[in-house]
């Protein structure tokens, strides 16, 4: 792992209008993000949400799954603050743990039965995605599940121009706003397989532009 390679952005600047940016997908991002709520293989006991953002997913997650404990992580304090407020507004009474900073640099034990990453891998080039996934695999308890939602390549080659347009529109929007440098789209599913995971289930949305994957370590 390259020290600090996942902590180079300024995503806190997006906090006030992150939800509005998400809405530009026409609901595809939200549907992929929430695709497996209520459909997980088992009720999660000790889940971790990596890159929790301003809290839309954590709030929906506790309402659907009601875990006894939840850990949230983000690089940006602004995102963690909004996420905590959103969770409090749900009335959820479980235990919340907050992990600020680059999750790959924290010394954490493999105790999480579910790790969630929502539109995190897109932020990095393909080799870094694979390194990130291998680090997430090391956080899973035996039998643990990784849930990933992200941009995906449609099965039909006729839709690939739409994939590239959608991907680059997002990347070039985030570059000046969050300081995330552009990188080639690569292939999230290939990175998942190279990261040592087996695909249990997947659901795609908006003609295959967004996909959620349920994964287990090989």
pLDDT tens sequence across 162-196: 999 999 998 888 888 888 788 899 999 999 999 99
Closest CA to 215 of 33, 34, 31, 40: 40
Query: Could you report the per-residue pLDDT of 110-157, keeping only the tens digit for each?
Result: 999 999 999 999 989 999 999 999 999 999 999 999 999 999 999 999
Q: Percentage of residues in the chain with pLDDT exceeding 90?
A: 82
Residue ranges of domains in the chain: 11-217
CA 145, CA 132: separation in Å to the nearest integer?
15
Query: Could you report the per-residue pLDDT of 8-51, keeping only the tens digit for each?
Result: 678 888 888 889 889 989 999 999 999 999 999 999 999 999 99
CA 206, CA 204: separation in Å to the nearest integer?
7
Domain boundaries 11-217, corresponding CATH code: 3.40.50.150
Please check the confidence at residue 100 and state whether its pLDDT lies above 70. yes
In sequence order, the β-bridge partners of residue 149 are 118, 212
- Average pLDDT of the segment spanning 42-70: 97
Minimum mean pLDDT range among 7-16, 64-73, 180-189, 204-213: 7-16
């Amino acid at each position: 792992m390259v020290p600090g390679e996942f902590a180079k952005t300024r995503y806190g600047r997006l906090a006030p209008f992150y939800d509005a940016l998400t809405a530009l997908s026409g609901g595809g991002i939200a549907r992929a993000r929430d695709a497996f709520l209520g459909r997980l293989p088992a009720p999660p006991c000790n889940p971790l949400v990596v890159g929790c953002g301003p809290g839309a997913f954590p709030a929906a997650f506790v309402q659907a799954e009601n875990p006894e404990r939840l850990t949230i992580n983000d690089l940006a304090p602004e995102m963690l603050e909004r996420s905590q407020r959103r969770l409090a507004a749900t009335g959820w009474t479980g235990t919340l743990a907050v992990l600020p900073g680059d999750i790959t640099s924290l010394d954490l034990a493999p105790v999480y039965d579910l790790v969630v990453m929502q539109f995190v891998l897109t932020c990095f080039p393909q080799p870094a995605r694979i390194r990130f996934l291998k680090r997430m695999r090391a956080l899973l308890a035996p039998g643990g599940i990784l849930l990933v939602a992200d941009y995906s390549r449609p099965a039909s080659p006729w839709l690939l121009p739409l994939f590239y347009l959608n991907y680059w529109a997002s990347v070039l929007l985030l570059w000046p706003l969050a300081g995330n440098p552009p990188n080639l789209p690569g292939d999230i599913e290939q990175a998942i397989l190279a990261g040592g995971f087996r695909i249990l289930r997947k659901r795609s949305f908006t003609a295959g532009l967004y996909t959620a994957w349920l994964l287990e370590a090989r």
